[in-house]
């Protein structure tokens, strides 16, 4: 019995169309998962803003009130009229900016030394620095508090700022990894022109490391801005409170002012968004480039 064979030209369009449909289906599934993930990430922020525009009686209304009707600004009015909220914002900006500056300067200096300056014991000292990443902050909390008490810095902002100027193990590691990717020829050319180590660091290394500096600055600013444990330990006077510590005032033993707390949390989120918008183009690039060379 004779069988009919079709040319390959008749099967190729069918197989290519099937592959195209599979590709489109996988892309549609991937985009659907990304949309669902984005919604799950954005929804808590939306609910925070929506709660800040409600009265306390409507916060736990059932069924939930997804859109405030009508939206009210009593929570924002309360935090700025009944509380020194502007002072809280200033204190948080002061502590976060100064500590971020300290971490960037001290970490970049130490990272340059580990990457470009040859001295005895450089590698063991760098390993000790990396080992500091594995020490939890709770271990050094009490010794550091004793030191701050003896020098009279308790109930001031100095305990939240000064330690940043002694370097960060993570910041040193991050910047050292990037400095290792910069060609040694640039250092040699600068030294031939009479540039010192500090001149090489300031005029060559830092301008080339803008992406890593922006990444470290963003992470440091976010960590300092959201820090609650440090202010709880060191700050007692209300006029010195930072925003995370001030937000705890809305939570009492038997009652929590949810609308006012969400209004304060919304205000405290704005500087983080502004900083991220200005540094997002450098963030991923800085993290990727800093890991190219060990």
The DSSP code for 237 is S
H-state helical runs in the chain: 12-52, 56-59, 74-81, 85-116, 122-131, 137-150, 158-161, 169-179, 184-192, 197-200, 206-208, 210-225, 229-234, 243-247, 258-289
Q: What CATH class is the domain 84-289?
A: mainly alpha
Q: What is the DSSP string of 169-223?
A: HHHHHHHHHHHTTS-HHHHHHHHHTT--HHHHIIIIIHHHTHHHHHHHHHHHHHH
Q: What is the pLDDT of residue 283?
A: 63
Could you list the mean pLDDT of each consecutive 10-residue stretch along the chain, which spans 294 residues?
52 69 87 91 88 84 82 87 90 94 94 89 89 86 92 93 91 90 85 84 87 88 91 91 89 79 89 80 59 45
The DSSP code for 63 is S
The half-sphere exposure of 254 on its side-chain side, counting CA atoms within 13 A, is: 0
Q: What is the pLDDT of residue 251?
A: 82
Q: How long a stretch of residues is the chain? A: 294
Q: What is the pLDDT of residue 291?
A: 47
Q: What is the pLDDT of residue 253?
A: 66
Contact in structure between 240 and 157 (CB atoms under 8 Å): yes
Q: What is the pLDDT of residue 292?
A: 44
Contact in structure between 269 and 45 (CB atoms under 8 Å): yes
pTM of the model as a whole = 0.81
The DSSP code for 154 is T
């Amino acid at each position: 019995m004779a069988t009919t064979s079709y040319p390959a030209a008749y099967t190729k369009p069918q197989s290519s169309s099937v592959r195209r449909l599979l590709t489109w289906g996988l892309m549609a599934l991937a985009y659907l998962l990304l949309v669902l993930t984005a919604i799950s990430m954005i929804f808590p922020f939306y609910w925070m803003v929506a709660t800040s525009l409600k009265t306390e009686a409507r916060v736990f209304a059932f069924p939930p009130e997804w859109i405030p009707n009508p939206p009210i600004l009593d929570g924002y009015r309360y935090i700025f009229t009944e509380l020194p909220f502007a002072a809280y914002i200033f204190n948080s900006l002061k502590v976060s900016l100064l500590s971020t500056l300290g971490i960037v300067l001290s970490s970049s200096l130490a990272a340059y030394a580990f990457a470009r300056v040859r001295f005895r014991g450089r590698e063991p000292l760098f390993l000790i620095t990396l080992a500091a990443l594995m020490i939890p902050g709770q271990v050094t909390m009490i010794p550091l508090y004793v030191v701050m008490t003896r020098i009279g810095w308790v109930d001031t902002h100095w305990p939240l700022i000064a330690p940043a100027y002694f370097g960060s193990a993570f910041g040193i590691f991050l910047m050292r990894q990037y400095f290792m990717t910069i060609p040694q020829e640039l250092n040699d050319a600068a030294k031939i022109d009479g540039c010192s180590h500090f001149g090489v660091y300031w005029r060559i290394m830092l301008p080339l490391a803008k992406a890593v500096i922006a990444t470290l600055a963003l992470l440091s600013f976010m960590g300092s801005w959201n820090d609650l444990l440090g202010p709880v330990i060191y700050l007692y006077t209300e006029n010195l409170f930072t925003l995370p510590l001030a937000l705890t005032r809305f939570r009492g033993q038997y009652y929590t002012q949810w609308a006012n707390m969400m209004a304060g949390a919304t205000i405290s989120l704005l500087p983080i968004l502004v900083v991220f918008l200005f540094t997002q183009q450098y963030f991923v690039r800085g993290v990727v480039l800093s890991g190219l060379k060990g």
